[in-house]
């Protein structure tokens, strides 16, 4: 979905790879010029949707286990026992660059937030290997923030910098009549402090940038907990 903001009567060129364009709120119809959509706005805002067959930059794999045995998401509904939910996020946006006369593989950085809501009516003793668990008295909310591919891009032992960049979330719980809503995953390439990481000239500057990045990710996690 795209949101164009402008002024009534304004002609806007919007670069887009989307097909099957649908104007969500208005009657404007765009002209297609290569990979650009040309809109003439009838109001200050225009919302449109489209489809693409381009691969997502992230690969998300979700697995369920019941009493130690793997089970499909379709079959786990209504079951009871010891449950583990495993969410693994991989970055597919790899690029080869030349750094210090050496070819290296780096990944386009994304902050990825995973949130799931587990009702106290069905889930007890919820534990996570990473992230946070917050209870509001009726539900236990699991939140987990990561930057997949960061450790591989930097090629540095994360233990040295005390930075958690694990790409796997594991949630375990005692479950009665398994029932849960969607697992929500949001990704953004707009990462605060990443300029400092990219321009770091030595390990000290890199560590300073990573610490700021870590603080930003923790604030994102706290925000998800509040929501």
Residue 205: per-residue pLDDT: 55
The kind and range of the H/E element at 71 are strand 69-71
Phi, psi of 33 (to 5 degrees): -130, 95
pLDDT exceeds cutoff 50 at 68: yes
Residue entry with tokens 């998800």: 224
- Shortest CA distance to 135 belongs to which of 126, 147, 148? 126
What pLDDT does residue 160 have? 46
Lowest mean pLDDT among 33-42, 148-157, 205-214: 205-214
DSSP state of 8: T
Cα–Cα distance between 19 and 22 in angstroms, integer?
9
The Cα 196–Cα 139 span in angstroms is 38
121-159 pLDDT, tens digit each: 999 999 999 888 988 888 999 988 888 887 777 765 545
**Cβ neighbour number for residue 53 with a 10 Å cutoff:** 6
Indicate the range of 58-67, 94-103, 120-129, 207-216 predicted with least confidence: 207-216
pLDDT at 206 over 80: no
């Amino acid at each position: 979905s795209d949101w164009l903001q402008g002024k009534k009567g304004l002609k806007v060129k919007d670069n887009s790879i989307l097909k099957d364009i649908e104007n969500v709120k208005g009657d404007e119809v765009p002209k297609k010029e290569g990979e650009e959509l040309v809109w003439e706005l009838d109001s200050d805002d225009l919302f449109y949707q489209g489809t693409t067959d381009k691969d997502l930059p992230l690969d998300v794999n979700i697995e369920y286990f019941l009493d130690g045995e793997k089970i499909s998401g379709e079959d786990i509904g209504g079951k009871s026992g010891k449950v583990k939910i495993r969410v693994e996020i991989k970055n597919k946006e790899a690029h080869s660059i030349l750094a210090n006369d050496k070819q290296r593989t780096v990944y386009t950085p994304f902050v990825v937030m995973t949130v799931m809501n587990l009702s106290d009516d069905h889930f007890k003793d919820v534990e996570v290997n990473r992230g946070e668990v917050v209870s509001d008295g009726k539900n236990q909310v699991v939140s987990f923030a990561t930057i997949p591919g960061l450790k591989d891009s930097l090629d540095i032992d994360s233990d040295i910098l005390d930075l958690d960049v694990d790409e796997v979330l594991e949630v375990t719980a005692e479950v009665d009549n398994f029932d849960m809503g969607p697992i929500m995953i949001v990704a953004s390439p707009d990462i605060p402090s990443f300029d400092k990481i990219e321009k770091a000239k030595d390990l000290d500057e890199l560590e300073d940038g990573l610490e700021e990045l870590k603080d930003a990710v923790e604030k994102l996690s706290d925000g998800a907990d509040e929501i």
